[in-house]
């Protein structure tokens, strides 16, 4: 029996859509989800037997439960969950509006957690499965106006690390995907921001605000190529915990980790002074 994937955030032009198409092309069953199913019709129509369009609002527990139930009713199980849905709320820390920050946390962190909780009983019962949480290189290094977004992804990664330890003995894999910049709608329709303005942040957070942003569609990452590396990593006997996607991701993360090691070494003697 072909394995079944459930993928969130599959609206046209995004990484989720690219993953769905490549996985469907490989012959797998895929529950292709978005808040509005009209945004995934083009994918589903090409694979009428193996693709299922589902409405899924990751911030709504009833919607999550209904999507999981419909996937299992259609295909019999869920073998791979890909938590891809998410967006960025840009703001300095001080200018941020609580409602905007909380909604992003519901979408980027708590929603994926609730969905994981709903699929785990099925995966545990079959003694196999995989959970893929799409993070960002922002979880490793961030900048002005992106502190809140980065914090959702960093929290998602550390939650995933704990989850991996819990599920490894049960035959269930957990993997985090860290994409670099991909040519998607992330930098336009998926970008939100605060309306508050404090002049002190004119040269920092304001320069990266939604109002200043222009999506030139020149990012190096191709969303149509995101699926196969994920599939290859999951099918490997040595599945990585973190999988980078994109040459820019490799460069940024390597540089950030090297910088952190240098900082540890520079302050090592001071750090050791707190021991008994």
Which token pair is 147?
Answer: 């502190």
DSSP structural state of residue 200: G
| Rounded-to-integer distance, Cα 28 and Cα 43, Å | 14
Distance CA 128, CA 164 (A): 13
Instruction: For tokens 């699926």, name the residue.
Output: 227
Q: Which residues on neighbouring strands pair with residue 55, listed in sequence order?
A: 34
| Strands across the sheet containing 4-7 | 51-55, 29-34, 4-7, 80-83, 129-134, 172-179, 242-245
| C-alpha neighbours within 13 Å on the C-beta side of residue 5 | 29
Indicate the angle between helix axes 111-126 and 147-167, nearest 10 degrees: 20
Residues 6 or more apart whose CB falls under 8 angstroms from that of 40 comprise 10, 11, 12, 17, 20, 32, 33, 34, 53
How many residues does the structure list for the chain? 276
CA dist., res. 67 & res. 55, Å (int): 7
Contact criterion met (CB below 8 Å) for 96 and 74 = no
- What's the burial of 235, exposed, middle or buried (CB within 10 Å: 0-12/13-18/19+)? exposed
Q: How far apart are CA 176 and CA 178, in angstroms?
A: 7
As given in the structure block, the two tokens for residue 12 are 């046209």
Residues with a known catalytic role: 135, 149, 153
């Amino acid at each position: 029996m072909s394995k079944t994937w459930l993928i969130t955030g599959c609206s046209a032009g995004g990484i989720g859509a690219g993953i769905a198409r490549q996985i469907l092309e490989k012959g797998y069953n895929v529950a292709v989800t978005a808040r509005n199913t009209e945004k995934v019709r083009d994918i589903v129509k090409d694979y009428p037997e193996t693709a299922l369009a589902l409405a899924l609002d990751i911030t709504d527990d009833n919607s999550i439960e209904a999507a999981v139930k419909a996937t299992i009713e259609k295909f019999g199980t869920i073998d791979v969950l890909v938590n891809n849905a998410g967006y960025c709320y840009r703001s300095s820390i001080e200018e941020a509006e609580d409602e905007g920050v909380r909604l992003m946390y519901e979408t980027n962190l708590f929603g994926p957690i609730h969905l994981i909780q709903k699929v785990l009983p099925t995966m545990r019962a079959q003694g196999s499965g995989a959970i893929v949480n799409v993070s960002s290189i922002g979880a490793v290094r961030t900048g002005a106006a992106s502190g809140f977004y980065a914090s959702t992804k960093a929290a998602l990664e550390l939650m995933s690390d704990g989850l991996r330890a819990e599920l490894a003995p049960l035959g269930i894999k957990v993997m985090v995907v860290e994409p670099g910049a991909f040519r998607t709608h992330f930098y336009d329709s998926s970008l939100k921001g605060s309306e508050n303005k404090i002049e002190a942040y004119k040269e920092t957070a304001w320069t990266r605000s939604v109002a200043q942003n222009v999506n030139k569609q020149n990012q190096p990452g191709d969303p149509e190529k995101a699926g196969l590396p994920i599939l290859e990593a999951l099918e490997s006997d040595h599945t990585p915990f973190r999988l980078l996607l994109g040459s820019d991701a490799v460069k940024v993360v390597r540089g950030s980790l090297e910088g952190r090691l240098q900082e540890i070494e520079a302050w090592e003697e001071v750090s050791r002074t707190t021991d008994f």
